[in-house]
Structure 1
């Protein structure tokens, strides 16, 4: 009987068919893009889609990249265990989209960059660019390995799907269409994967609503279980999720992910016009709202079904990440093929994230390491190298998945640590974009100080996880289970995934319940603020930035933002001529740009 505990069904033949069809569909799109663009083999075409992409597919790709397999499985579990507070991230997504679209996109767009870290060399120095790129490569390789492994482990333990077979298949498919189709293949497969992910959520919600007697009953059960209390205005920064930690800390965290992460930057700078680039982020914002809403409703539906028999406490599953796969096999196994659709949804998130990472890793490796040192290169050599790097990084990500299987909880700690890198890096970019004073010494020193602090609090939080009064897990029961096994569970660190819950250390230092209990959503904010303040102070102490000839295009301008935008007639006509010439998104040298501008002004 559904919702009363015990073993669930395993995959049927039709489930394997649906799952395989989705994976092959993604590979097919990559092959199609490779055949379609076989005559366009430039590096710009491979890495940026020829800078001719439009807003909607790029927006769907941005959203799909956010929806990793961990997110597909983890967000409903978040609603099940902690309630609807996660829904408040809708505010953070709106703030992130606006800040990225109005501040970062115009800056990167007019500079014509391929790697987001090119800006660090333009504004500061080449060593800082190399440091930023290196941090990104290490972070992305480790994270991508976890993205492949964690959902595979959770699904394997519930569905019986062969773990290593799927790991290798996932990596192989991503390598195939990334190598052959480049960014266009990545974006268009993301569109397909986004549709599959949303369909997976809808299938679970629809079946759950039928079993429970409608969504109204699901909502009532969630309310009675305390799952709808989303607005907690307690300003305590140690509270894992409150209105302030999510809206303030969450916004800064997501800005650091979308504004300077190569995987995201590479998408919106591939758009053919600045308008399309900005619009892609606003459409992506709507996509994030829809996605998180479906994920949260899925979690509330899961609570309604298991409100009297928690599979986690009843030992039907060993981690919270297995809750949603368990629910799928429990309520959808009677419809052959539908569980396969859900697994395809989870793996679509994995494919999207992995392919995005591979393409971004190739871009930064080429632009930041190889091309500056390789002058006598031919276009054919660059093309082959791009493809070779795609294969290399794809294999590396599969290797990292293997490392994840051996490291277990240690890699979860690594994930949280590398996630904290984004805060100090964001502070470094903000120093360069808004202030003329910071120099290379001050900015690099500020970033190191910010990184040390975030690593300190992050590692401390991993060793001494916050107590239940900070994370606020909601009550669950097993009174309605067919069989109940008593088991004690303790609070899990907020970033952990696919690992059993661990007991808290018996001896806790004084910092454990204060500094180490800081909400994980404030890590990025802490890193950014400390980097900015210390970077400014050290820069002033070391003489400030003496490069008097810094180009104004390296800084954010009032005209970048929609609320200050106003063009005179000649500016509008020049922009129209630029579009007619097809150069709205081309990386021209300063001299070329001046010549073209003068020529167009003469035409007017």
Structure 2
């Protein structure tokens, strides 16, 4: 690479492309606000009338999963640590199968809007309230960071106005969520996933041309040790190995796809359970495509800068600025294409933020408003749903402002997202898979899992793992024409996993720091899930768990597992759940009596005569 060649700047056409993406997203919201006057009920606003088709839902799930943090971070991870990240493709398959075959059947059968309704039906109101609070705090914090972190990276490289981008993102998301509800969220996600694909493709195709072909990119990656597909070291302290990615990654992302409101809300809005499952499996293909493109972009990034790392050479101040830097380097002669990539990154932000705002509104209405104000009409609940969308939109923008003040703890806050998700996954697994689990065990398990995962998470921020645990690959600068003390130089830099303001430096490392606090970040969620499960079971047994008479609808049953086997024999069974007649349920068990009459007999088994 010729280090003397400067990178481009963000021009007028780039702003036009970026603005066009925001405008089209807003127009979709306006369309669904007025098309057919469809927002008169909270169910229509929050669940799209439970009439969504699987393909747009699948694309929406893919789009919201790939936040701007992922768009900017995945190529950087490949650049720094190699293509072992591509093993997440196996993880995604396991996550989708578990979500579709274990969690989806139970949630869909009950016709719930908020996943936390299930916790009250299965356990009690206090367990539901704890789950709701955990989710709201986690999601608001994470969403604020998703807005701010990419804005900061893009601002420092492209010059795109930081707070203009932050406020524009928050306002546009809030606007179309409030006007159009879930349908607007889903269809804007469909548009935005197209933008993400176009952005990745434009970067990779141009990089391939600039670098002289795909063979050059692969050769550079091979020489730099980046083609490290396999590492079967069972050590749980290594950052990325086959086992940490497959086991830890499966737990981490199942907490998102299996029980997280923002994902579950969309696939249970499909018109039938078969369509809901189909949306998850189509989404898997989308995840694989995005993963492949982001890994290829990471290899192209390394090929371009294999002899002159911009981060080590102080051209950028943080690793997540490398992709925007590459874009302005190789696409500077193509007006509008840098803007397309920025639109790609912000499409990830918009899709994640919009789904979060809509999910937060659903959880607030279903878990906090309905149980305490039973007399409210559907029209009134619809207005409240829209009002809470505005409220959470403002809160997320405010959280982005707070994130700017604690920029050194951004990585810590992102870790908290996984730390909270693990115990919540354990809580739902207790309810669905363990018949003898009771409310005492569930609450104790949730708190125990959270305390332990929070302990190791905070410890990892205070005392980050040494380089031999994270295994960063070499970064070289001999091609930069930079001189230090009169000679060319080469260096290996460790990526700062923890940039916490509370990081403790210059301390004598203890076995606790080198072992417990060096646990792979992918195992934080795994640890929280397993502790919640085991503690929940141990506490449930001596506190009367085996004496319970649990309705079979709240558990994973044999019929759920065999559902796919008779899909072609019983067509009515496939479409049996298309009419969710839940008007104001979700507050306590009696509110679901009408579902029980229609869907179950006295033993809790599926009654085919009613289907």
TM-score bracket, shorter-length normalisation = over 0.9
- Which residues of structure 1 form unaligned runs of 5+? none
TM-superposition CA deviations, 1:34-76 (whole Å, max 9, x none): 1214244211110000000011100100010011111100000
Q: Return the offset for 1:595.
A: 5.2
Distance 1:493 1:534 in 2: 34
- Kept after mapping to 1: 8 A contact 2:462/2:504: no
Is the CA contact 2:57–2:279 (under 8 Å) kept in the aligned structure 1?
yes
Q: 1:506 to 1:52 in 2, by over 3 A?
A: same
What CA distance in whole angstroms lies between the structure 1 residues aligned with 2:582 and 2:483?
64
Q: Do 1:274 and 1:584's aligned partners in 2 also have CA atoms closer than 8 Å?
A: no
The verdict on how the C-alpha distance between 1:438 and 1:208 changes in structure 2, with shifts beyond 3 A counting, is same
| Deviation readout 1:283-328 (Å, 9 max, x if unpaired) | 1111111101100100100100111100011000011000000000
Moved more, 431-440 or 4-13: 4-13
Distance of 1:564 and 1:277 partners within structure 2: 13
CA contact (8 A) 1:450 1:531 kept: yes
Q: What is the distance in 2 between the residues matched to 1:23 and 1:526?
A: 40
Residue in structure 1 matched with residue 551 of structure 2 by the alignment: 551
What CA deviation, in whole Å up to 9, does each residue of 1:84-143 have, x standing for no partner?
011000000000000100111111000101001111101111001000000000000000
**Structure 2 length-normalised TM:** 0.93
- Residues 134-189 of structure 1, C-alpha deviations (whole Å, 9 max, x = no match): 00000000000000000000000000010001111111101110000000000000
* TM-aligned CA distance change 1:28 to 1:410, over 3 Å: same
State whether residues 26 and 173 of structure 1, in contact with CA within 8 Å, keep that contact through their aligned partners in structure 2: yes
Q: Give the whole-Å Cα distance in 2 for the aligned partners of 1:64 and 1:13.
A: 27
CA displacement at 1:566 relative to structure 2 = 4.0
**How many Å apart are 1:575 and its aligned residue?**
2.8
- Coordinate RMSD, CA, aligned: 2.4
Correspondence list, 1:144-543, <5 A: 144-484=143-483, 491-492=494-495, 494=497, 505-543=506-544
TM-score, normalised via structure 1 length: 0.94
Q: 1:48 to 1:227 in 2, by over 3 A?
A: same
Q: Which moved more, 1:130-139 or 1:503-512?
A: 503-512
Alignment check: 8 A CA contact 1:51 1:272 kept: yes
Question: Residue 5 and residue 257 in structure 1: after superposition, are their counterparts in 2 closer, same or farther (change >3 A)?
Answer: farther
Counterpart-to-counterpart distance in 2, 1:240 and 1:403: 29
For 2:2 and 2:553, how far apart are their aligned partners in 1? 60
Given that residues 89 and 250 in structure 1 are in contact (C-alpha distance below 8 angstroms), is that contact kept between their aligned partners in structure 2? yes
Contact 2:273 2:574 in 1 (8 A): no
Whether the 8 Å CA contact 2:411–2:497 is kept in 1: the answer is no
Partners of 2:300 and 2:76 in 1: how far apart?
Answer: 11
1:510 deviation in Å?
A: 2.3
Would you say the 8 A contact 2:273–2:575 is kept in 1? no
Rate the CA distance shift 1:417–1:596 in 2: closer, same or farther, 3 A. Answer: closer
Count of matched residue positions in the alignment of Structure 1 and Structure 2: 595
| Contact in 2 for aligned 1:318/1:500 (Cα 8 Å) | no
Residues 563/422 of structure 1: CA separation in 2 closer, same or farther (3 Å cut): same
Structure 1 residues 595, 162: closer, same or farther in 2, change over 3 A?
closer
Distance (Å, rounded) in 1 between the aligned partners of 2:154 and 2:503: 21
Whether 1:583 aligns to 2:579 is yes
CA distance, structure 1, for counterparts of residue 599 and residue 17 of structure 2: 53
Deviation at 1:7, TM superposition (A): 4.6
Most deviating of 433-442 and 122-131: 433-442
* Correspondence for 1:84: 83
- CA 1:152–1:441: 2 relative to 1, 3 Å: same
Helix, strand or coil: the match of 2:545? coil
